[in-house]
Amino acid sequence: MKMHTTKQSLGAALAGERRQGRTIGFVPTMGALHEGHVSLMRRARGENAVVVASIFVNPLQFAPTDDLARYPRSLEADAALAAEAGVDHLFAPEVAEMYPHGSIATRVDVGPIGDIGEGAWRPGFFAGVATVCCKLFHIVAPDRAYFGQKDAQQLAVIRQLVADLDLPLEIVGCPTVREPDGLALSSRNTYLDPEARRAAPALAAALMAARDAAASGEESAEELRWTVKTCLEAEPGIRLQYVDLFDADSFSARERLDGRGILAAAAYVGGTRLIDNVDVVPAALPAEVRGR
Ligand code: PAF
């Protein structure tokens, strides 16, 4: 695996790969890699001749009150994991390489999807994600880019970005990887102390209880929210911030489950904010659509 810290070095290496007609798969990350990231890299490895991953903790997607300085950084261990997962080129630029003037004036405005769900609690977050992904897509020029379903709204924002701006790449969504007790893998799990780690799987369990209620015929978003809230009342270590139902394709907010949906939530576990989501499918959908 070749490490690059400059756009120029990565660009030169990828120009050579492209000249030979090799397809490029890209996995953008913020580092602190775990098995979830590794699953994206392996998928990219299986579907492309060349695999590029990036590690860049993007300041544009952190609010001033957020944990940018504290965000876990572990470049050496990350590089070892990426190499083992079959990455050919690892791009790990400093902030000054991506934003030579400290920041940039231009932002990608993602419209209403940026103001609901996660966006309602983290203003500007999705503009920051879309802006850095737009830059990275131009720098890497991949044929495919891989994103986890764990960040379902981010995946929807990136799909919208690529469609709206006619960016010439395919976006591949990949399943959430979970611990055996159900906790979705996340770089932020490293913040959990033993008590918080014990409590954390209750978020996934509550979402899965609501998913089961939907499968048994419950279609009201209010009732599905109530199921999640009630389950979490039994776990004092978790403070739910929101739980909402979204359309699985457009990610617009829904009050009724009238097609495939995503039930997404954020919660504080100790001092750590975790997000998770599950697919919810109405019992009334034909079996072939339900099993999709
Ligand atoms: O999901 C992430 O790690 C980040 O939001 C991404 C897509 C790498 C953009 O900074």
Nearest CA to ligand 1 atom 6: 29
What is the 218 CA–ligand 1 centroid distance (Å)? 33
Query: Which atom from ligand 1 is nearest to the alpha carbon of 151?
Result: 1
Given 34, 37, 101, 138, the catalytic residue: 37
pLDDT tens figures, 29-84: 999 999 999 999 999 999 999 999 999 999 999 998 877 999 999 999 999 999 99
Residue 156 CA, ligand 1 centroid: distance in Å: 13
282 touches 259 (CB < 8 A): yes
User: Which one is predicted more confidently, 292 or 229?
Assistant: 229
CA of 155 to the centre of ligand 1 (A): 10
C-alpha distances (whole Å) from 132 to each of 29, 61, 108, 158, 173 are: 11, 9, 9, 11, 18
Domains in the chain with CATH codes: 2-174 (3.40.50.620), 187-279 (3.30.1300.10)
Per residue, what are the HEC states of 158-195? HHHHHHHCCCCCEEEEECCCECCCCCECCHHHHHCCHH
**Confidence class of residue 287 from pLDDT cuts 50, 70 and 90?**
low
Query: Which atom of ligand 1 has the smallest separation from the CA of 187?
Result: 3
**Best residue for ligand 1 mutational test, from 27, 58, 98 (most atoms within 8 Å of Cβ):** 58
How are beta strands 272-280 and 261-269 bridged, if at all? antiparallel
CA-closest residue to ligand 1 atom 8: 29
CA of 195 to the centre of ligand 1 (A): 28
pLDDT value, residue 238? 98
Residue 107: pLDDT band (50, 70, 90) is very high
Instruction: State the chain's mean pLDDT as an integer.
Output: 96
Ligand 1 neighbours, Cβ below 6 Å, are 28-30, 58, 61, 129, 132-133, 151, 154
Kindly report the pTM of this predicted structure: 0.96
Residue 272 has pLDDT above 80, yes or no: yes
Active site residue 37: yes
